[in-house]
Amino acid sequence: MPELLNLSIDRIHTPVGELLLVADVAGNVRAVDWSDYESRMLRLLALHYGKDGYRLEPVRNPHGLRDAIDRYFAGEVSVIDGIAVRSGGTPFQRGVWSELRKIPSGSAISYGELAKRIARPKAVRAVGLANGANPIGIVVPCHRVIGANGSLTGYGGGIERKKWLLEHERKYAK
């Protein structure tokens, strides 16, 4: 029987709603989502770690991660670059998610450009699906991917939050 994965969950107030942050005992962020999408986050955790493969314990500021998120929302947008993450997902998804972390704060790229960056230029749809399945929003900045025409297409937290996050990062990016 696999060992139970012990995870902490913190609920963080932000200017655009309550953010849920899930971390493991080593301080790796395993999930980030908005509280109004908590059921989706729990489904993703069950998908990646098994329905009975993890335990969530409420913890305030696990490994200083709340402090880092608070600093991000206060304008120190590059602070998320140093946050350690670990997730399930397929090798393709993890490749897309890894590439997302290379998009600088204050900028955005298209799905097509993201596909090119992972050397899969024809996999635009698959890249879009992987981007949409990202379990670690903000820290793995899927909000920095936009439509080829510059439109704010899809974001799991809602288009208004995506717009806010992009404007926030543009304002404070160095």
Residues with catalytic function = 142
Look at residues 55, 150, 140 and name the one whose alpha carbon lies nearest to residue 89: 140
**Beta carbons within 10 angstroms of residue 54's beta carbon:** 18
Look at residues 95, 82, 79 and name the one whose alpha carbon lies nearest to residue 133: 95
Length in residues, the chain: 174
Which DSSP state fits 3? P
Compute CA distances 69 → 78, 83, 106, whole Å: 10, 9, 16
Which residues are within 8 A (CB) of 8 and not within 5 positions of it... i.e. 6 or more apart?
22, 23, 24, 25, 56, 57, 58, 59, 62
Using CA atoms, how far apart are residues 143 and 84, in angstroms rounded to an integer? Answer: 18
Provide the 3-class DSSP secondary structure of residue 34. strand
